[in-house]
Each structure stands twice: as structure tokens, then as C-alpha cells.
Chains A and B, each alone.
Chain A
Amino acid sequence: MTDAPLVAIRNCNFGYTPARRILHDVDLVVPRGKVVALMGGSGCGKTTLLRLIGGQARAQTGSVEVAGENMGTLDADGLYRMRRRMGMLFQGGALFTDMTVFENIAFQMREHTDLPEDAIRDLVLLKLHAVGLRGAANLMPSELSGGMARRVALARAVALDPMLVMYDEPFAGLDPISLGVIGQLIRRSNDALGATSIVVTHDVQESLKIVDYVYLMADGRIVAEGTAEEMRESDVPMVRQFVQGEVDGPVGFHYPAPDYRADLGLAADA
């Protein structure tokens, strides 16, 4: 096994429009076999970075390499070849609503392999058993709770034993029990499959329990990085505000606005 990182992002800049740049000179590496968290407030560019890694968008400058392949230069066939080795869990689960839980997990196996139906059945039940939902195989997505849907989506993301699994806000909107379950499943499936995982999240406490390394983003930049322990003990104001959940700090509570007194028409009396 090579020591080169599985994902290497170098000097990456990206914006959906030329006027509004989302990512600024992002440098980031994800070593093989590790669970790495991308943390930061809403709108700081975390999900955009995942889109670049998955080849859904292309960096304007710099490079995004996955397993040595530059995702920004691949054609459609190349992208699909790479994506067969990736799994992704979407924020809302994105389960196919016209298919049962079983069919959702079997979807990629039927599309990309020539496995007989018996083998697919065994593999699907294996994946569902790992997330504790073998008994829900015949349910429709609309019959699942939020936590169950997230577990099914996780089983689907690792259905073909991918080399890289990306989790986009896996903890959002879950109750405390489901939070812990999802966190442990991410860690266990990463270690069991020998995969590499990237977890985009703003749930600090839950993710620090399971990740090996953390990148903290703000305004499209990497502003801090380190192990979970280093992040917990950091004195950097931005990290402290984020980890401790402080209301005010480097990330201001107020959106930029004109002077408050002037806005209320009190400036003359001041």
C-alpha cells in the first residue's frame, strides 16, 4: 500500500460565479485509512469541497487529486470510473423513494456488477445487518425515521466497498441516540472496509469522538487543522469559538450592518 495520501487538494480556488468565490487557496490532504473531518459553520465551503472531490464541480485553479487522478481533468467516463470507487452519504439521505430499502442498497450492485441475484441478496442483507436494519429490508423510505433513513443511506454508500466514503452532514437533525449510532457506524465501517472517510459536519462533539484529523474551515479557507485532541485544547480563538460553541468571537454574531443608532434615527441625539 502506498503512503501517498488518497486525497490531495493543492492551492484550490473555486466559485460558482466569477464574482463570488467560495474556496480560497485550499490545501488539504486525506491520508489513506483515516477518518478526516471538514468542520466549519454553514456556508463556509465544506460541501463545495466535497463536490470538487466527487468531480461534480471543477476547481478554477489548483488541483484536486483522488488516488493520483486529477478530478478536474477527467472526462465523463473517467469520472464515472472514479465514482465507482467512491461512496457518498447525502445530507438528506437521498434514498430513491420509489424503491424499497433492499432495492436502494442493491441498486449499485445491479448497475455495476454481474452478480447473481442470490449473491446480491446476501450482500444487501450483510450491509443492512451491519447498520442494524436487516428487518427493515422491505420497507419504503417513507416508512423510515430520520435516523433509520441515515443508516440505510450509510449502508448504500458503502454497498460496493468503496476506497473513499464522503459523508455530507451525517449528524444533521438526528436525536442523541441516532447521533452516537451513526458516528460509530462511520468509524466501524471505515476500519472494517479499510476505506478512507471524509466527514463534512458542524457537529463538533460527535465528530471529535470518531475522527483522526480535523480541518476547520471559515469563509472558504482552512483556518486550523489538527487531531481531535489538538482541536479540543487549541487556544486559537477561531477554533475555541467553534469547539466551545461561543456566540461571539472571530465569527461575529451580527451580520455586517450600518451603525445601529444611526439606523434607528438616533445619531443626531448622540
Chain B
Amino acid sequence: MNGSGPFDLVARVGAWAIDAVRRIGAATLFMLRVLFASGTSIARPALTVREVYFAGALSLVIIMVSGLFVGMVLGLQGYDTLQTYGSEEKLGVLVALSLVRELGPVVAALLFASRAGSAITAEIGLMKATDQIVAMEMMAVDPVARVVAPRFWGAVLSMPLLAALFSALGIFGAYVVGVRLLGVDDGAFWSQMQAAVDFRQDILNGVVKSIVFGIGIAAVATFEGFDAPPTAEGVSRATTRTVVHSSLLVLALDLVLTGFMMQMWGD
């Protein structure tokens, strides 16, 4: 029946809600499985190191180039606004706080979800579609321990390192634009930055954020890959879901974490 009455709408919303709850439950159980199966990743660190290379090292170019450009744009925009108030020497503070607290972890996480998260989902999904996962089970090897857990921890470890690099390159980009091109005083740029940026409130909070984002992206990417229907369309949809869901998750987590951290530090 192709109904379009209010009851059909309620039924569709209900079905969507039930499916969403079911998937959240399945994802939670899956993550518990990954955690319990993480012993292999600890006992054989080479497996995780390999995934740090694939998820982290291969994302370096996009993260570094993006960080540089974002920093340069921040330098331009910040200078334009600050010089109105004669405060252009505060450019270093503006750029550093923006990057270390927010833009570094968030933009790096969004790029990481697109570059590495989608790759993790596609790889696991294709392994499933081509019977490699079942073959591993038939060889009495747990695919969650051997395939999923190393990729999960590889992504979690990569994320804070990439976010730190993003922020560092961003600050360098702002330095090039602000100091070298627009003439902001070199000493003021660095000294004001050093005076204003607090290790615990700013740098540590940024690191905590990037670790939490890494866990979120890795969880979504591995679950979507493992849960993907074993067809070309299924893997394609799962890959898209990974990018969309992990990006939204990063933004939602950022809001929650920022509120929590401001409360915690009395900012």
C-alpha cells in the first residue's frame, strides 16, 4: 500500500527510530567486541603500527596542506580585523587559540573522517563482500581482533598527531602571512602567543578533543565497514554514512566537550 496519510508518516518515523536505536545498540555491542578483542593489537604492535601508517602517514599531505592554508586565511582575516583596533600584534594569540582550541582538532578530524575513515570502511566492507572476513573466521582467526581492532587503534593513535601537525602548520601559515607579508612585529607575534596560550586550558584540551574525535571516527568507520551489506551498493552506502555520521559526530562532540571544558576550567 502506497499510503500517504498521517498514520503512514507516523509508521515511517517509528520504523526509522526503531532502526536507529537498533543500529546504535549494534554499534555499542560491536565496540565492546573490539575492546575485548584488542589484546592482539597490544601483543602484536606491528599490526597497529601498519594501520597508523595507512590511516595517519598517508593523511599527512592533506592535513599539512590544509593546516597551512587555514592558518594563512586566519592570518589574513585576523590582521584585517585587528588592525582596525590597532591590535595587529595580537594576531599570534588569535591564530594560536583558534587553532589549538578548535580549528586544529575539528578541521583535522573532518579531513581525517573523509580521508582515512572512508578508507577504513571501504576496506573492511570490501573484505566482507569478497568473503575475506568469512575466510578468516573459517581459519579460526577472529576478524575483529585481526582486522578491526588494529585499524581502530591505528586511527585513534593517528588523530591527535595529525591535529597537532595541523595546528603547527596553521600557526606557521599565519606567521608567513602576518609577519612576513603584512609586517606584524615578529617578537610581538610569538611572545604574545606564548603568554596567552595555556598548556592545560588550551593545548591539553585540544589534545583531549582530538583523541575523543579519533575514537568517534574510528568507531563509526569500523562499525560501518563491518556492518555493510556485502554488495557494491552496500559498501558504497556504508562509506558515505561513515563520512556523514562521523563528521556530524565530531561537531556534536565538539560542542559537548567545549561546554564541559569551559565549565571545568571556569573559562
Considering the complex, give the chain B residue whose CB is closest to the CB of A99: B132
- Inter-chain contact B141/A111, CB cutoff 8 Å: yes
Residue from the list B123, B131, B138 in contact with A91, Cβ < 8 A: B131
- Closest B residue to A95 by CB, please name it: B132
Q: A residues touching B (Cβ–Cβ < 8 Å)?
A: 54, 56, 79-81, 83-84, 86, 88, 90-92, 94-98, 107-108, 111-112
23 contacts between A and B (CB under 8 A): A54-B138, A56-B138, A80-B140, A83-B138, A84-B139, A84-B140, A86-B138, A90-B131, A91-B131, A92-B131, A94-B130, A94-B134, A94-B135, A95-B132, A96-B127, A96-B135, A97-B132, A98-B123, A107-B141, A108-B139, A111-B140, A111-B141, A112-B140
Please tell me if B137 contacts chain A, counting CB pairs below 8 Å: yes
Complex-state Cα separation, A97 to B146, whole angstroms: 15
Which residues of B from 105 to 132 have beta carbons under 8 Å from A?
123, 126-127, 130-132
Specify which of A83, A86, A92, A112 is in contact with B130 (CB 8 Å cutoff): A92
Report yes or no: A94 in contact with B132, Cβ–Cβ below 8 A: yes
Chain A residues with CB under 8 A of B131? 90-92, 94
Residues of B within 8 A of A112 (CB): 140-141
Residue of A nearest to B40 (CB): A111
B139 touches A107 (CB 8 A): yes
| A90-B134 in contact (CB<8A) | yes
Contacts of A54 in B (CB 8 A): 138
Q: Could you tell me the distance between the alpha carbons of A84 and B127 in the complex, rounded to whole angstroms?
A: 21
Q: Which residue of B lies closest to A82 (CB)?
A: B140
A94 to B126, CA, bound (A): 11
A86-B138, A94-B130, A98-B123 given; name 14 further pairs at CB < 8 Å.
A56-B134, A83-B139, A90-B134, A90-B135, A91-B131, A92-B130, A94-B132, A96-B127, A96-B132, A107-B141, A108-B139, A108-B141, A111-B139, A111-B140
Provide the residues of chain A in CB contact with B127, threshold 8 Å. 96-97
A83 partner residues in chain B, CB cutoff 8 A: 137-140
Cα separation A97 to B125 with both chains bound (whole Å): 13
Contact-residue size bin, chain B (C-beta under 8 Å from the other chain): 10 to 19
- Within the assembled complex, what's the spacing in Å between the Cα atoms of A54 and B137? 10
Q: How far is the CB of B36 from chain A (nearest CB, A)?
A: 12
The 3 closest A-B pairs by CB, nearest first: A94-B131, A94-B135, A80-B140
- In angstroms, Cα B138 to Cα A81, docked, is 11
With A and B bound together, what is the CA distance between A98 and B124 in angstroms? Answer: 11
* Interchain CA distance A120-B219 in the complex, whole Å: 35
Give CA–CA (A133, B139) in the complex, Å. 22
Most chain A beta-carbon neighbours within 10 Å: one of B130, B138, B141: B138
Q: How far is the CA of A84 from the CA of B137 in the complex (A)?
A: 10
Give the CA-CA distance A137 to B170 in the complex, in Å: 46
Q: Which residues of B contact A79 (CB under 8 A)?
A: 140
Please, which residues of chain B bring their CB within 8 A of the CB of A96?
Answer: 127, 132, 135
Encoded as 1 (CB less than 8 Å from any A CB) or 0, chain B from 135 to 152 comes to: 101111110001000000
Chain B residue numbers with a CB within 8 Å of A98 are 123
Q: In the docked arrangement, what's the CA distance between A108 and B140, Å?
A: 9
Residues of A within 8 A of B142 (CB): 80
CA distance A94 to B127 in the complex (A): 8
Shortest CB–CB separation between residue A121 and chain B, in angstroms?
18
Within the complex, the shortest CB–CB distance from A228 to chain B, in Å, comes to: 28
Closest CB in chain A relative to B52 CB, distance in Å: 15
What is the distance, in angstroms, from A9's C-beta to the closest C-beta of chain B? Answer: 18
A85 to chain B, nearest CB (A): 9
Which residue of A88, A95, A111 is within 8 Å of B138 (Cβ)? A88
B132 in contact with A56 (CB, 8 Å): no
Whole-angstrom distance between the alpha carbons of A81 and B139 in the complex?
10
Interface residues of B in 183-220 (CB under 8 A from A): none
CA distance A95 to B134 in the complex (A): 11
Q: A90-B131, A94-B132 are in contact. Are A56 and B137 (CB under 8 A)?
A: yes
